[in-house]
Each structure stands twice: as structure tokens, then as C-alpha cells.
Amino acid sequence: MTQTSNDFGELGERIAARYLERGGYKILARRYRSGRRDIDLVAEQDGLIAFVEVKARHGDAFGDPVEAVHRRKQRELTKSAQSWIDRHGRSGENYRFDVVGILVHDRRAYVRHIPNAFEKA
């Protein structure tokens, strides 16, 4: 990954975090690492923990950003989420996987949040 694409990914994560915070979520972790895998955001709202994958794109030439979270990525997220739960989870918490797609076009960011985007893979 080039520095430019890494910077753009970080921008997408900041936009997604701000969007979620405005929606009442508390960001518990950013770029949580588990070995070579990571979770972009771990967010909490009313006792529910959301493991959030953020996909940011310039324009729509490659399709909707949320469609980029394919089966292999879902399996990786599931493993990373289990690591987070093992280290930080508490009894009674509920968990889900969300995807936030960020589409940047003409210096504007369009956000699409898909709660419970997929089941544990």
C-alpha cells in the first residue's frame, strides 16, 4: 500500500469515526491490530459492540465501497474480532459487524453505514 492510499484510508476512518460519534457511538479503538490483521474501528452504543470495516473510494469507478468487503475479508474480521473479545470483552455485551463506505467525489464525502452487514464468517 502506498503512503497516499494509506493516508486516504486514514481519512476515511476519521470520517467514519466522526459519523458514528455523531450517531451516538463511542469509539473504543482505531486500527486494532491482531497479528497481521486489523479492525478499522471498534465502536460501542448501548452495550452493543460494532466491529467496523471502513472502505473509502475516490469516485465510483470501482463500484460501491461496501461491496469490497468480500468473504475472505469477513473471515479475517471475524478472527480479529474474536481476539478483541478475548482481550477486552465483558459479560453481557452483544457484538456485530458493520461496514461504512465512504465515497469521496468533488471534495465531498458521502457516507453509507451498513449495521450488521454480515454474520460471523
Mean pLDDT of 1-12: 72
List the domain boundaries for the chain: 3-118
pTM: 0.88
Is residue 89 over pLDDT 70? yes
| Pairing mode of beta strands 48-58, 94-105 | parallel
Compute the distance between CA of residue 92 and CA of residue 77 in angstroms, rounded to an integer: 21
Alpha-carbon dihedral 28, 96, 75, 43, rounded to 10 degrees: -10
| pLDDT tens, position by position, 51-69 | 999 988 876 655 566 676 7
Is residue 5 over pLDDT 90? no
The pLDDT confidence band at residue 79, using thresholds 50, 70 and 90, is very high
Compute the distance between CA of residue 17 and CA of residue 41 in angstroms, rounded to an integer: 7
Of the chain, the percentage scoring pLDDT greater than 90 comes to 53
Architecture of the domain delimited by 3-118: 3-Layer(aba) Sandwich (3.40)
